[in-house]
Chain A
Amino acid sequence: GESVGLHLPTLSVQEGDNSIINCAYSNSASDYFIWYKQESGKGPQFIIDIRSNMDKRQGQRVTVLLNKTVKHLSLQIAATQPGDSAVYFCAERVPSGAQKLVFGQGTRLTINP
């Protein structure tokens, strides 16, 4: 079935270091991917998205890389700050006609001072 999974459920990094959060997806037909950030007690917030015709997309301090060959997605956060502590979810759109996203389990990112 459709699924989006993550390699690691938790990740700890030192403040100022770069963080890399990984995501594996199962459906090679998926044509759109999105990363969300969820802070404690809040709803998920959009970070960045990428279409399948791209390999890389950059935002402010974040970069998403897409490797369609191995069905892998990653989110890179540069110069991690305490405010980056959160759970990060990836999601994919499978062009099945249904207007929905499939979400992964999530990775909890903890920033150490």
Chain B
Amino acid sequence: NAGVTQTPKFQVLKTGQSMTLQCAQDMNHNSMYWYRQDPGMGLRLIYYSASEGTTDKGEVPNGYNVSRLNKREFSLRLESAAPSQTSVYFCASSEWAGGSYEQYFGPGTRLTVT
């Protein structure tokens, strides 16, 4: 049981390049989330998916797109990377049912945009 996995672990992009961050969970959770964490800051929600087939914007969605490929996988795409998107990106999943709202986090992807 790997929990939440993310790929890649590290990535360097040039301004204007595109890339997709991958996330998968093996806990059969309904809900999945993408956060970004800037140095010395908390977690800011980019997008989330309450269930397979649905996605919703979070606090900072501009410059990103997401795809809930199936129940296990939730990807985050940067179409045209900007230096302001340099950050650590965390994916999380949650069952969000029965009074349990705990989110399980992946190890993160460290992205640098030059």
By a beta-carbon cutoff of 8 Å, the part of chain A in contact with chain B is 9, 32, 34, 36, 41-46, 49, 51, 89, 93, 98-101, 103-106
Measured CA separation A106–B101 after assembly (Å): 19
Q: With A93-B101, A101-B103 as given contacts, are A43 and B108 in contact (CB-CB < 8 Å)?
A: yes
A44/B90 in contact, CB under 8 A: yes
Q: With A43-B90, A51-B99, A106-B42 as given contacts, are A100 and B105 in contact (CB-CB < 8 Å)?
A: no
By beta carbon, the residue of chain A nearest B102 is A46
B108/A105 in contact, CB under 8 A: no
By a beta-carbon cutoff of 8 Å, the part of chain B in contact with chain A is 4, 31, 33, 35, 40-45, 48, 50, 56, 58, 90, 92, 94, 96, 99, 101-108
Residue of B35, B42, B92, B99 with most chain A CB atoms under a 10 A cut-off: B42
A34/B102 in contact, CB under 8 A: yes
B45/A42 in contact, CB under 8 A: no
Q: With A89-B42, A100-B33 as given contacts, are A43 and B94 in contact (CB-CB < 8 Å)?
A: no
Measured CA separation A42–B105 after assembly (Å): 9
Q: With A45-B105, A46-B104 given, name 11 new contacts (CB 8 A).
A: A36-B105, A43-B4, A44-B105, A46-B102, A49-B101, A89-B43, A99-B31, A99-B50, A100-B33, A100-B45, A100-B58
A49/B41 in contact, CB under 8 A: no
Measured CA separation A9–B40 after assembly (Å): 9
Give the total number of A-B pairs whose CB atoms are below 8 A apart: 50
Q: What are 27 sample pairs from A and B whose C-beta atoms fall under 8 A apart?
A: A36-B105, A41-B108, A42-B108, A43-B4, A43-B106, A43-B108, A44-B43, A46-B104, A49-B101, A49-B102, A89-B42, A89-B43, A93-B101, A98-B56, A99-B48, A99-B94, A99-B96, A100-B33, A100-B45, A100-B48, A101-B101, A103-B35, A103-B44, A105-B41, A105-B42, A106-B41, A106-B42
